[in-house]
């Protein structure tokens, strides 16, 4: 593995494993870019971690709205992350689904009903949102 790929992967793991705030990690990335000459590193934590940001496309479904993230897209992203971190891809994935609703505020009538999925493996448990209504 190339040194740049290795150092980028290790920095990504360090941020996630240690719960480093994105603002602090972005500041570090700026220092590494500007003063250490590590221009191959991205300038923001969102880019480094592959975070997506933007508008969510909700569908109107009376009496509320619906957003679908998708199981396949999430599984592909998780498995690619395993590969990027050098973790062996499991041959069998156990999926656990759960639906759990809650109010969005004490005074309003809005509710949030995410459909959650968990991937259970020998040494890990990963959760992600499939959709929300």
The pLDDT assigned to 41 comes to 92
Spatial contact of 94 and 79, defined as CB atoms under 8 Å apart: no
pLDDT digits (tens, 9 = 90+) for 54-100: 556 778 877 777 777 778 888 888 888 888 888 887 788 888 888 87
Spatial contact of 130 and 115, defined as CB atoms under 8 Å apart: yes
pLDDT digits (tens, 9 = 90+) for 31-55: 999 999 899 999 998 888 876 555 5
Closest CA to 82 of 131, 12, 4: 12
The pLDDT assigned to 55 comes to 58
pLDDT digits (tens, 9 = 90+) for 3-29: 888 889 889 888 887 888 889 999 999
Domain-by-domain residue ranges, the chain?
3-49, 59-132
């Amino acid at each position: 593995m190339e040194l740049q790929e290795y150092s980028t992967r290790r920095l990504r793991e360090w941020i996630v494993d240690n719960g480093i705030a994105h603002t602090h990690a972005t500041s570090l990335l700026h220092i590494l870019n500007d003063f250490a000459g590590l221009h191959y590193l991205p300038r923001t934590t969102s880019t480094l971690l592959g975070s997506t940001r933007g508008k969510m496309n909700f569908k109107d479904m009376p009496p509320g709205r619906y957003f679908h993230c998708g199981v396949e897209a999430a599984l592909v992203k998780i498995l690619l992350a395993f590969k990027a971190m050098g973790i062996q891809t499991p041959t069998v994935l156990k999926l656990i689904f759960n639906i759990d609703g809650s109010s969005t505020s004490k005074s309003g009538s809005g509710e949030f009903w995410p459909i959650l999925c968990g991937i259970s493996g020998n040494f890990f448990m990963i959760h992600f949102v499939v959709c929300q209504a």
